Amino acid sequence: MSLAIIGIAELPTKRDPERTRWDMLSDVCMDAIRDAGIDKDDVEAVISVNPMAQAQMALDMALGRVPEVLGLKGCKDICVLNSGGTSTTNCLRLAKYFIDNKQARFVLIPHTTVQSDIPTEDLINFFATAPLDPQWEYPYGVTFNGAMGLITNRYMHDTGATAEQMASVTVSLRGWGALDPNSIFYGKPVTLEDVLESRMISTPLHAKECNFLADGAGAMIVTSHEIAQELGRPAAYELGHGVRFTGATPVLREDPYFIKAYRESSQDALAEAGLSIDDMDLRQIYGAYPFTQCSALEGYGVCEFGEAAAIWAEGRCGPGGDLPCTSMGDATGRGHTGSGVSMAFYLDTVRQLRGEAGERQVADCNHALITTSGGSVMNACTTIFGSAPR
């Protein structure tokens, strides 16, 4: 039972409607195959990340156009998977099944999203209706930002975290993004004042603490541990995986900050890997809103409940800190590419483990924990990756 990521490619996050979905998809698929050092006809399955709010592209992927366009003559089957922000995680899980069962030696997992050609009103409507209940939430003017504002407000009430401490999370995330050529905020760090003085969207969330919708594309090639070692190329080896569901509707959840989901999914993943949370050199947290960067650390057991915001405020989780977290920048620090955020999280984790993260490189990064989430954090999917097989 093993999975290794041996090829990656990504296009910089931007808002550029001149880049078409298919151009971007073709570029990253070809680059990922080249990066893996394999031939295009070695790809035996294509498992695509469902592109959200882009019905035609989702259908094209579901009905088999990707291997046809790329001329993948060895492709045995295709699939498109959708669980919002955890779609990429599902792709990895199905790829593992194909690989473990010798159905495929190499699987291509692509993603493409263009949101800059979708009218703003349509995007607001999509993100207000997709994860929210049409009968009990939507008539009250709930938006994604509003739902997360509700939780953040209560989180600050329960933990005593201050507005400055919460804003410091965004400062650190943007700090990572400012060093990352794939971030829409490359070269654009922000200060505490920039965050706190940006427009109030849904209290306590300022504009810079909310998501900026953008376009992006990424792809990866996965194979087995054994084949990755035979190829002798730098790879990210999956060592353990754990998941927990929290619930679809924010107001109904008994665990509003997902502490239990973060704790139990990480414990399962770490147990499978035979490692402890203290063995992790990097923690990558996809929650899309800053409070999740805090509650995840509390769930993992890195610190006690109520301590994480102060840790972020000390700069320990940002670039150069002793507890590096989310070097990918999360959606807040990189731009929100729909279901592509989780793709970018895995790609950045591979870069860190291969020592290819440039100015953001975490020193001696050999073990990384990554948690992805779908919907409004309906689930927590935690995976441990290493720079070598166990």
Tokens found for residue 6: 């041996």
CB of 117 to another protein, least distance (A): 19
d(CA 211, CA 185): 12
- Residue written as tokens 């080249």? 34
Query: Which amino acid is located at 9 in the chain?
Result: A
Site residues (vs another protein, CB under 8 A): 121, 124-125, 128, 133-143, 145-147, 149-154, 157, 199-205, 210, 249, 251-252, 256
Query: What sign does the dihedral 291-373-259-1 (CA atoms) show?
Result: negative
d(CA 17, CA 344): 20
DSSP for 309-371, please give it.
Answer: HHHHHTTTTSTT-SS-B-TT-HHHHH-B-TTHHHHHHHHHHHHHHHT--GGGPPTT--EEEEE
Nearer to another protein, 73 or 154 (CB): 154
User: φ, ψ for residue 290 (rounded to 5)?
Assistant: -55, -35
| Strand, coil or helix: 313 | helix
Nearer to another protein, 129 or 276 (CB): 129
CB of 344 to another protein, least distance (A): 23
Q: How many CB atoms lie within 10 A of CB 300?
A: 24
Nearer to another protein, 165 or 284 (CB): 165
CB of 248 to another protein, least distance (A): 11
Q: Which residues contact 230 (CB under 8 A, 6 or more apart)?
A: none
Nearer to another protein, 77 or 255 (CB): 255
Nearer to another protein, 22 or 212 (CB): 212
Q: Which of 360, 25, 29, 12 is nearest to 214 (CA)?
A: 12
Q: Which of 70, 86, 30 is nearest to 78 (CA)?
A: 70
Nearer to another protein, 192 or 201 (CB): 201
Nearer to another protein, 216 or 250 (CB): 250
d(CA 179, CA 211): 19
CB of 160 to another protein, least distance (A): 13
Helix H or strand E segment including 240: strand 236-245
Nearer to another protein, 140 or 232 (CB): 140
CB of 136 to another protein, least distance (A): 4
CB of 258 to another protein, least distance (A): 15
Which residues face 382 on adjacent strands?
242, 371
CB of 173 to another protein, least distance (A): 20
CB of 54 to another protein, least distance (A): 20
Contact 209, 144 (CB under 8 A): no
d(CA 300, CA 260): 9
Query: What sign does the dihedral 191-197-202-207 (CA atoms) show?
Result: negative
Nearer to another protein, 176 or 289 (CB): 289
CB of 251 to another protein, least distance (A): 5
CB of 169 to another protein, least distance (A): 17
Q: Which of 313, 342, 320, 347 is nearest to 330 (CA)?
A: 342
The gap from C-alpha 151 to its chain's centroid, in whole angstroms, comes to 20
Number of H helices, E strands in the chain: 14, 11
Nearer to another protein, 146 or 299 (CB): 146
DSSP for 286-301, please give it.
Answer: --SSHHHHHHHHHHHT
